[in-house]
Every structure is written in structure tokens, then in C-alpha cells.
Amino acid sequence: MEVLTSADTVGTDDSTAVLLLAAVRRLMRVTSEEEVVGVLMDAVRDLGGTVISAHHQRSSTLAIDLSFGIGEPMLADIPDPAMYSRLRYALQSLVDDAGLAIERIALAPEVDPKNATDVLTGLGNWNATMQALSRMVPGDAIALFELENLKHINDYFGPPTGDQVILSFARTVRRAARTADSVGRVGGTEFVWLLGGSSLVGAESALARLRSMWEQDRPHPVTYAAGLALIGAAGPNEAYMHADVAVQNAKSAGPNQTMVSR
């Protein structure tokens, strides 16, 4: 699969963002790998491209396999040079989300029977996050994040672009998290990362890595405040409150800050 660098990324316009958001929402509801592939191919056509066999690729074809191994490799062809770079970036992000949808289907074939999934990002929602929090033990860590200047993006580019920023941040946190960790969206711009078996030093290092990744991945210059707390003898609920106070202190200190409750 083709990998993009930060130099390749090109922002999407509002109409493209609307189409991408619709496709991502469909991915959150699909129940089979075949449906995932269908969503991708429909999105290519909606965005002005065509789907062709890998055997017939040409200079206007993106080397991004849309089939995920189901049948022969199928690629997106973008004959309009003006749209090539824009859709190259947009489709790579959508393919990433499609991969996450396939992982979700493989791990949990039932469609969210406990209503525990955030419909926009596919992360655990408030209920799922609180259930995961209840299983945390002393020595684990809690990180809270709040996107700070998303309102400016919504006002200037429109809410669909703001939703794309939220999706991008969700993807970045998932990439930074380990398999044993839990990541959830607990509000419109609020996220939680539960780090299992992490020292405070290790958690601080993980958050520093996340901030570096976000500065490279973000589609717009949106910052976030972060608060971190280690779970102690008082339990996870107490630590969550400390992390919440820390994130509020981070917001008060200025943009793009991380505060640690010690």
C-alpha cells in the first residue's frame, strides 16, 4: 500500500470533506469486509475517480489497493490532474479508516450490541470508557485531551472539515496507543487515553510522542490541551478527576500545553 509523507498532504475542500465524512460514517456501520470494499469504491466514484484493475493501471492511477485482498487488486484512477494530489491524500486517509473497520469486524462481528462506540470516530464512547476505567489499577495512567481551537476551523471551513480534524486526531491517538490501552471519545472535542501498566515517566514519554505525531499528521493547525494522572491507592475515579483538573490547568496555561497531576 502506498505510504504518504507530510509533504504529500493536501487539505480537502468542503465538498470533499462532506463526501469523506459520509463514507467514514458508512464504514462505522458496515458488518462485512465486502461492504468495506464497496464503501471505498463508491467513495472513489463520488470523488470523481474510477475503479480499475491493477492490471490496467496507468500514470493517473493511485497505487492504493482498495480490495483488501478480497478478489483481485483494484485501484483508483484519477484522470483529472488537478484532483490527483487532493484525492491521493483523501483516499489514503479513507483507506486507513477502512482498515480499522475491518479490524473492528474481525474482533467484534456483532454491530455494537452494547451501544459503546462513538459513531464518528469508531472509538469507545463515554460508557465504554467508564467501563474500561473501572478495570484500571494502581500504576496505570489516565490522559485526557481537549482540542482547543476547533471552533475556528468549523467557522471558517465548515463543520464537515472540523469532523475530519476530529477523525484525524482519533486516528493519531490510536496509532500512538498500545494494544493493551483504551482510547475513547467522551465529548465533542474531548478524548481519553487509558495507559495500562505505565509509569508516570513512561506515560509522559507517550504523550510527548503523541504530540509530535499530531504536529505531523494534523490536516489543520489545531492544538490540544492534555492532562495526565497516575492511578494511586484512591482508585481510578479519583485519578480521572485529577487528570480532568490537569487538562483544565493546561488550557489556562496557554495553547498546546500538557499538565501532570503529581
Closest to 94 (Cα-Cα) out of 65, 74, 123: 65
Q: Read off the pLDDT of residues 101-139 as tens digits, 9 standing for 90 and up.
A: 888 777 765 555 567 788 888 888 999 999 999 999 998
> What mean pLDDT do residues 64-86 have?
79
99 and 217 belong to one structural domain: no
Mean pLDDT for the chain overall: 84
189 and 75 belong to one structural domain: no
77 and 134 belong to one structural domain: no
Decide if 185 contacts 121 (C-beta within 8 A).
yes
pLDDT value of residue 5: 32
- Among the residue ranges 15-19, 23-27, 50-54, the one predicted with the least confidence is 15-19
Domain count within the chain: 2
165 located within any domain: yes
41 and 87 belong to one structural domain: yes
Instruction: Report d(CA 136, CA 84) in Å as an integer.
Output: 46
Does 142 or 9 have the greater pLDDT score? 142
135 and 66 belong to one structural domain: no
120 located within any domain: no
> In degrees to the nearest 10, what's the CA dihedral of 79, 6, 187, 194?
130
pLDDT value of residue 225: 97
pLDDT value of residue 95: 86
> What mean pLDDT do residues 72-101 have?
81
92 located within any domain: yes
114 located within any domain: no
DSSP lists the bridge partners of residue 259 as: 227
158 and 240 belong to one structural domain: yes
17 and 100 belong to one structural domain: yes
150 located within any domain: yes
85 and 136 belong to one structural domain: no
**Where residue 249 falls among pLDDT bands split at 50, 70, 90?**
very high
Per-residue pLDDT at 97 exceeds 60? yes
The CATH number assigned to the domain holding 187 equals: 3.30.70.270
134 and 233 belong to one structural domain: yes
118 located within any domain: no
78 and 174 belong to one structural domain: no
pLDDT value of residue 112: 53
Nine-digit cell at 100?
480499522
pLDDT value of residue 43: 83
pLDDT value of residue 222: 95
Among 79, 107, 135, residue at a domain's last position:
107
Residue with cell 487532493: 86
Q: Read off the pLDDT of residues 205-225 as tens digits, 9 standing for 90 and up.
A: 999 999 999 998 888 999 999
Question: Can you list the positions of beta strands (E) in the chain?
Answer: 50-53, 61-62, 74-77, 141-147, 182-185, 190-195, 224-230, 258-261
Instruction: Report d(CA 217, CA 172) in Å as an integer.
Output: 7
Does 188 or 80 have the greater pLDDT score? 188
241 located within any domain: yes
Among 45, 73, 107, residue at a domain's last position:
107
pLDDT value of residue 115: 72
121 located within any domain: no
91 and 46 belong to one structural domain: yes
137 and 36 belong to one structural domain: no
Domain extent at residue 27: 6-107
- Among the residue ranges 102-116, 194-208, 225-239, the one predicted with the least confidence is 102-116
